[in-house]
Structure 1
Amino acid sequence: MNSVAEQGRALLPRALFGSDDEQSIEVLSRALMSGRGEASGVAIARQLLVRLKKATSEERFQFYRFLADEMQPDALAVAEAAHGYLDDPSAASLAALQKASYSPRLEFFRRLNLAPGATADIVALRADLMRHIKSDEALAAVNRDLERLLTSWFNRGFLVLRRIDWQTPAAILEKIIAYEAVHEIRGWDDLRRRLDPRDRRCFAFFHPALVDEPLIFVEVALMRDIPDAISTVLDGRRDDDGAAPATAVFYSISNCQEGLKGISFGNFLLKQVAEDLVRDTPSLKTFVTLSPAPSFARWLDRALATEGDGLVSAEQREVLARLRDPRWVEVAAKDGHGAEGLKSTLLSLAAHYFLVAKSADDRPVDPVARFHLGNGARLERLNWLGDTSERGLREGHGLMVNYCYDLGEIERNHEAYAQDGTVAASRAVRALLKSQPKPKGLSSVPDLLALPGVSKTKKARWPAPE
């Protein structure tokens, strides 16, 4: 491809590659869309990517504005085709409407992808684009087109699941250390422990166009029981009584490519990992996560700031005031009775947070919950002081969550969540709502079951109340 690009460059006007041309990015973009041959197209695409890498942040912003303003369907042509389809809803008129409404940006990025190694550059370009959207909403249309294209390119069928171990190339291992987003990997010795073949596993998804770039990876601990604190997983101790592990704990899942945010290639990742684990270790019967609750503290702050909805009672507010003390964990450890009151209050509010509270899209407010529930998991257990690190206390008041992946129910849970927003939850989690004060408009917790779309089943599915 590089050879083709070099030969194609010789066929093009030298002005296209002039280093002094301030409009070169726009000029190259127009040239790429001019319908030239394949060889010249490869050359232009490669040169355009080189220019974009060297461009300043402001120059790239102007490039995104150019895409947003000029590379969009012809409004008059779309309107004419739409009227034509309404007058004659035939296959031919539908094809004409689809052609008229097709975004030129999709074709632009398709042609840009002709350059060698362009896929990785386009993913990085989207990461940069998303940082500019907050300052200019017009760029959202460009992002939608890119997301649509990348969703197609990174279709689950193209992804390859690979085990990461100490024999994996060092370049990839370095990226695993750098990309770890949940529990920091503190150097090579820590990584070696997390890859210990006796009781640890790590798996990653790769794409053929990004050979040495993991897209998402999961770290697994093989244990006897379901853990309730991350320290028991990360402290390096092993179960040395000779008993075969019965529980696989997915304790860290990291998305590696910021430019692929929103691309759902992670669906059923954990199911495939679980199936591979069972083949390797038949004694495994239970598959759970030990997950953070990264938005719980922020949500609770908003709930405390809103006094009129009755969600947090006056008594609970008094108990929660203890969280203002930076040393509240140490204080709670010394005061058993006080700790129980704070524990029950936090867990009952956390149950509301996971089972009832919804975001604008009518899904759970917690991003980790959306990921696991979307993958077919069941909300199994809430763990008091599961993570007492600075980050764990700041983001979730120490709360950690076990999501259970029951291999016989994953598909059913996934479909219920995808279609109706139904949350599969254990009886233990549902029972925590009983200690929660009644929000205004509901006379009791069972009244939640009377809301539209809520069914009382064995696995306690809880869609959003309307």
Structure 2
Amino acid sequence: MKKTAGPALSPAAESATARTMRERLGSLLGRQGEALSPRVLRRTLAELQAVGNPLISDVEGARLAAGVAQWYARATAQQRHDCWLLMSEQFAPDVSMLEEARRDYEAALGTPAEAQAEVCLRRAFVSPRTRLLQRFAAFPDGMRFLVDMRAELLPALKSDKRLLALDAELQALFSTWFDVAFLDLQRISWQSPAALVEKLIKYEAVHDITSWADAKNRLDEDRRCYGFFHPRLPGEPLIFVEVALLQDMAASIPPLLDESAAHADLSRANTAIFYSISNTQQGLKGVSFGDSLIKRVVEALRAEFGQIKTFATLSPIPGLRGWVQAHAGELLQAASSRSRQALARQLGAASKGDKGDVTAEALLKALDGVAALDEKSPLARWLLAAAARYLGRETDAQKRPLDAVARFHLGNGARVERINWLGDPSAKGLKQSWGLMVNYYYDLRRLDKHRALLAQGKIAVSGAVESLRE
């Protein structure tokens, strides 16, 4: 790493600094072992302090930050961890300044000096870490550097809580820097640069893109794909959504991914199906712009296709299988006696327990053959009822839907419209939900009503889904 210039230290001061850093090594880095030697650690801290020095210009600070980033690119994982710890622990807010500003603000309440005291309090909350990270963001590749650094840092939070302050600061800054007001909605088509199409293939998180022909099918003229882009990350979609334009609500994913299927007649399309939404930047975890993407895409589609009135998803249910496996006994007990008898007849004598009733273990084992089941069979009806309960009633301690995908769409004001049998018969679909998929319907007139219901812990569901529950 290039050594930065700084104010000269007297031998005594330099010795004191060295002793202080050695003393801090035990608590700062000792539990995991230090990757940087005390000398390199002191130098790294000095260079970070130079980057964040309020007495230099932002241009000079950005230049110094670029030098640190070059060293970071060559550093080992443990050396980077040491750098994160320095950023997290050595650039915290000044506690005495905070306390003084708080006292001044409390004393000024109700007086003409209140507004100025509030300004001072706000300034006291701005930590040296904020200025440090702002300087890193200022050099040409700085935003990319910070997003990638947080992506690398996130897995370490579970084992090292000392990094929480740095992570929280990054997330807060990203929430401002990546606000939807600064994002550009762009359509991605087969005519887009090949490098951009390659990124869609890389980042697709719902239904893997298996070939260039598959990518072409999803980007063809009867489809739409939109992404949010940030000016500091050119050519890099932050999130993108794939849309099929149809004449009815889709119930199954294979027809949408069929490369040999005929093109849809766009003049007759009245339904837009959002069948894949993928975030691309792990470093932006916790920064929400998916709901704004849906709204902006709806506006774009309505402007291009005035006849499209129905906006819905065809979505996976990633948490269903784990939840059913954990609650199979409870779900079976809640079923009517008539349903349990029908299940016992379908599964046969080998599935019955000591009391002659079908067992939860037998049910789960039988579901391994779900692809061969008739949708109207007792076992299929039991699974559909379980899915309806999972999506329509089950919430966590914060009254949020248990399923992550449901939480996203229901939080945007959609409702659970229809549960589709074997909507995704792929290995991934069978593994996470026995192939079941769900349509979330965006009724543009009732989005606020549905959000208000969800705030009360009530999930909006259609009559068709309600009828599945026992």
1:381 corresponds, among 418, 439, 455, to 418
In 1: Cα distance, 2:336 partner to 2:327 partner: 11
The aligned residue for residue 226 of structure 1 is 249
Correspondence 1:403 to 2:440: yes
2:78 corresponds, among 29, 47, 58, to 58
Correspondence 1:34 to 2:34: no
**SS of corresponding position for 1:278:** helix
Task: Give the Å deviation of 1:63.
Answer: 1.7
The aligned residue for residue 83 of structure 1 is 103
TM-superposition CA deviations, 1:327-381 (whole Å, max 9, x none) = 5124425xx7xx6212221222222212222224321111111111222222111
Correspondence 1:156 to 2:156: no
TM-superposition CA deviations, 1:264-293 (whole Å, max 9, x none) = 122232222122223323332211100001
In 2: Cα distance, 1:148 partner to 1:105 partner: 12
Give the share of equivalent positions with the same residue, in percent.
39
The aligned residue for residue 324 of structure 1 is 365
Unaligned runs of 5+ in 1: 1-8, 436-466
Correspondence 1:358 to 2:395: yes
In 1: Cα distance, 2:4 partner to 2:40 partner: 22
Task: Give the Å deviation of 1:101.
Answer: 2.7
Q: Name the CA shift for 1:330/1:148 in 2 (closer, same or farther; >3 Å).
A: closer
What is the TM-score with the length of structure 1 in the denominator? 0.81
What is the TM-score with the length of structure 2 in the denominator? 0.81
In 1: Cα distance, 2:293 partner to 2:385 partner: 31
TM-superposition CA deviations, 1:368-425 (whole Å, max 9, x none) = 11111222222111112211111111111211110111223334434654x5455322
2:463 corresponds, among 412, 427, 430, to 427
Asked if the contact 1:248–1:288 (Cα under 8 Å) also holds between the matched residues in 2, the reply is yes
Asked if the contact 1:25–1:52 (Cα under 8 Å) also holds between the matched residues in 2, the reply is no
In 1: Cα distance, 2:4 partner to 2:250 partner: 64
Correspondence 1:287 to 2:311: yes
**SS of corresponding position for 2:290:** coil
In 2: Cα distance, 1:149 partner to 1:388 partner: 41
In 1: Cα distance, 2:293 partner to 2:265 partner: 31
Q: Name the CA shift for 1:225/1:76 in 2 (closer, same or farther; >3 Å).
A: same
In 1: Cα distance, 2:293 partner to 2:248 partner: 22
Asked if the contact 1:319–1:342 (Cα under 8 Å) also holds between the matched residues in 2, the reply is no
Question: After superposition, where does 1:39-118 map in structure 2 within 5 Å?
Answer: 39-89=59-109, 90-118=114-142
Q: Name the CA shift for 1:42/1:213 in 2 (closer, same or farther; >3 Å).
A: same
Aligned length: 416
Question: CA RMSD of the aligned region, Å?
Answer: 2.9
Letter of the 1:403 counterpart: Y
In 2: Cα distance, 1:135 partner to 1:102 partner: 27
Asked if the contact 1:294–1:395 (Cα under 8 Å) also holds between the matched residues in 2, the reply is yes
In 1: Cα distance, 2:379 partner to 2:367 partner: 15
Range that drifts further, 226-235 or 174-183: 226-235
Task: Give the Å deviation of 1:40.
Answer: 2.4
TM-superposition CA deviations, 1:24-80 (whole Å, max 9, x none) = 432321111222233421221101111222221111211222222222122333233
In 1: Cα distance, 2:87 partner to 2:257 partner: 47
In 2: Cα distance, 1:58 partner to 1:310 partner: 52
In 1: Cα distance, 2:150 partner to 2:84 partner: 10
TM-superposition CA deviations, 1:62-113 (whole Å, max 9, x none) = 1222222222122333233333333432223333332223332222111111
TM-superposition CA deviations, 1:271-320 (whole Å, max 9, x none) = 22122223323332211100001111122222247x69966789487367
**SS of corresponding position for 1:65:** helix
Correspondence 1:170 to 2:194: yes
**SS of corresponding position for 2:362:** helix
In 2: Cα distance, 1:31 partner to 1:309 partner: 65
Task: Give the Å deviation of 1:11.
Answer: 9.0
Asked if the contact 2:370–2:434 (Cα under 8 Å) also holds between the matched residues in 1, the reply is no
The aligned residue for residue 214 of structure 1 is 237
Range that drifts further, 421-430 or 309-318: 309-318
Task: Give the Å deviation of 1:159.
Answer: 0.9
Letter of the 1:206 counterpart: F
The aligned residue for residue 28 of structure 2 is none
In 1: Cα distance, 2:397 partner to 2:162 partner: 21
The aligned residue for residue 348 of structure 1 is 385
Question: After superposition, where does 1:266-277 map in structure 2 within 5 Å?
Answer: 266-277=290-301
Unaligned runs of 5+ in 2: 9-35, 344-357
Task: Give the Å deviation of 1:249.
Answer: 0.9
Asked if the contact 2:196–2:236 (Cα under 8 Å) also holds between the matched residues in 1, the reply is yes
TM-superposition CA deviations, 1:116-167 (whole Å, max 9, x none) = 1211111111111111111112322221111110000011111111111111
Asked if the contact 1:379–1:425 (Cα under 8 Å) also holds between the matched residues in 2, the reply is yes
Correspondence 1:185 to 2:214: no
Correspondence 1:367 to 2:391: no
Q: Name the CA shift for 1:114/1:353 in 2 (closer, same or farther; >3 Å).
A: same
Q: Name the CA shift for 1:29/1:310 in 2 (closer, same or farther; >3 Å).
A: farther
The aligned residue for residue 129 of structure 1 is 153
**SS of corresponding position for 1:398:** coil
Letter of the 1:187 counterpart: S
Letter of the 1:109 counterpart: L
In 2: Cα distance, 1:240 partner to 1:68 partner: 54
Asked if the contact 1:382–1:402 (Cα under 8 Å) also holds between the matched residues in 2, the reply is yes
In 2: Cα distance, 1:241 partner to 1:154 partner: 37
Correspondence 1:22 to 2:22: no
Asked if the contact 1:293–1:401 (Cα under 8 Å) also holds between the matched residues in 2, the reply is yes
The aligned residue for residue 26 of structure 2 is none
Letter of the 1:74 counterpart: D
